[in-house]
Structure 1
Amino acid sequence: MSFFPPDPVIPEPEETESSQPTWWQAPEDELPELLAVSELLAVTDHVAIALVGIDVHREGVQLRVERRLRRKGLPLTEWNELCGAFMGHMSYGGLVDVAGRLRFGVVLADGEKIVTDASPFFGGSDPMIEPKGHTLSRREQGGGGGGSTYSSADHLWLWPLPPAGPVELVMQWPTLGIDETRVKIDASMVPALAARARPYWPR
């Protein structure tokens, strides 16, 4: 007989699967229909930003924005500072400038305006409580590059589905010399496309 008693049986922990609110981001278990859109939003000597497509889900739409950066002869120090500003770590010139940040918003056909800054930090409502109107959330999709180019992307989740009519995408990035710019999107096909979106697995 062993001097030491046997270890107690420790039950396996029961971890419950968590789900994020539908207004936070596009569903990851749903195959969207695609709305073909290709629009330049802004172009400077060093930066280009474009709307490259819209994923239409059953409960919302995700606008896919591509960002491109080119060095175009900048000295290395300035290039590194520009890359930092491009990725949101600092303003161009090395000083943090919250007012100069990249911002997105939309105007719906009924005149409702929504911005991506609608969070408690900027005076918005509790993100865990279902909003009464539309919301627009931004998720940066990483980035990468080298000594002469850099790229990144943003996914803008508009929830719930917009009303019938055009959707106007608005953006600005003062730090990188981009004033407020707008592009109007024909969203007339969104209801029909949303009806065709389907889950990957049966629910």
Structure 2
Amino acid sequence: MDFFPPPLPRDEETGDELEFARVPWDGAPEDVIGGVVPLERVLARNDHLAIVATQAVAYADGVEIGLRLRARRRPGMSREEWALVSRGMWGFDDDPWHVAQAEAAAAQGRHPDGLLRFGVRFADGSVVTTVDEREDEDEWPGRRPERPVLCLSEEGGGGSGENVDTEHTLWLWPLPPPQLFELAVEWPLLGVELTFTPLDGAEIAAAAARARPFWDD
């Protein structure tokens, strides 16, 4: 059984936009100073890509994990190979290449190779991933999820002709138990096989206890 579940069949999109409202399982609170845990953990690395977890910012109801992705054009890499790496790093949803890859993969009941995915495996063996889908995900805010939620957000980036640097965050809700758990990553397009890195849930729980509001009133 694959670690990352396959995508669910898609219905035709209506084009209706959902009204935005922040809920705890959607992202970190904006009015709270989270407790910080330096991570500096290399999650995956090959000769043209490194994925690093920089820090964890913990709150009472979840933890935000900062990610930095760095790609380089290695010596001898052809223009076509580097273009593929660069395209994978940027991953624009409206890029016709990405759209075609996604449609072809969906027709085969799998995720496209260009999709960067993360997951968490808890001490009890249960798993949550960034590709999990809920039946009510098109409803806002929807019902309170019965299972943990892991969300991946792109924060921005930059680059030159030889390098690309991007930053992302992972939001894990609720706060994980104070036990060791594993952070998983997989990115077939850029040569990253399924890889697990242990993180200390007790250290994150201790940081969550230090979280406090920006203002007391």
Question: Could you list the per-position Cα deviations for residues 109-129 of structure 1 after superposition, in whole angstroms to 9, with x for gaps in the alignment?
Answer: 22220001123xxxx232322
TM-superposed deviation, 1:92: 9.6
Other-structure match for 1:140:
154
Other-structure match for 1:41:
43
- Among 99, 122, 127, the alignment partner of 2:112 is 99
TM-superposed deviation, 1:64: 1.1
- Give 1:69's aligned amino acid: A
- Give 1:148's aligned amino acid: E
Change (3 A) 1:156 1:94: closer
Query: Does residue 126 of structure 1 match 2:129?
Result: no
Question: Could you list the per-position Cα deviations for residues 52-111 of structure 1 after superposition, in whole angstroms to 9, with x for gaps in the alignment?
Answer: 110111110111111000012434444233211112247999962543121100011222
Gapped regions of structure 2 (runs ≥ 5): 1-19, 103-110
Other-structure match for 2:64:
62
Gapped regions of structure 1 (runs ≥ 5): 1-17
Other-structure match for 2:11:
none
The SS at the match of 2:26 is coil
Question: Could you list the per-position Cα deviations for residues 127-146 of structure 1 after superposition, in whole angstroms to 9, with x for gaps in the alignment?
Answer: 32210121111111122111
Within a 5 Å distance, the mapping from 1:17-28 to structure 2 comes to 19-28=21-30
Query: Does residue 171 of structure 1 match 2:173?
Result: no
1-side partners of 2:216 and 2:132: how far apart? 33
Other-structure match for 2:107:
none
Other-structure match for 1:13:
none
Other-structure match for 1:79:
82
Query: Does residue 150 of structure 1 match 2:153?
Result: no
2-side partners of 1:105 and 1:149: how far apart? 26
Aligned-residue Cα RMSD (Å) equals 2.3
The SS at the match of 2:112 is helix
1-side partners of 2:88 and 2:96: how far apart? 5
The SS at the match of 2:82 is helix
- Give 1:62's aligned amino acid: E
Name the TM-score, length of structure 1 as normaliser.
0.81
1-side partners of 2:89 and 2:172: how far apart? 23
Percent identical among aligned pairs is 34
* Residue pair 1:141, 1:154 contacting (<8 A) in 2 also: yes
* Residue pair 2:153, 2:170 contacting (<8 A) in 1 also: yes
* Residue pair 2:35, 2:208 contacting (<8 A) in 1 also: yes
Other-structure match for 1:111:
125
Name the TM-score, length of structure 2 as normaliser.
0.76
TM-superposed deviation, 1:25: 0.8
Change (3 A) 1:93 1:52: same
Once structures 1 and 2 are overlaid, which stretch shifts more, 104-113 or 124-133? 124-133
- Give 1:86's aligned amino acid: M
- Paired residues, number: 182
* Residue pair 1:92, 1:175 contacting (<8 A) in 2 also: no
Structure 1 residue runs of 4 or more that deviate by more than 6 Å after TM superposition: 90-95
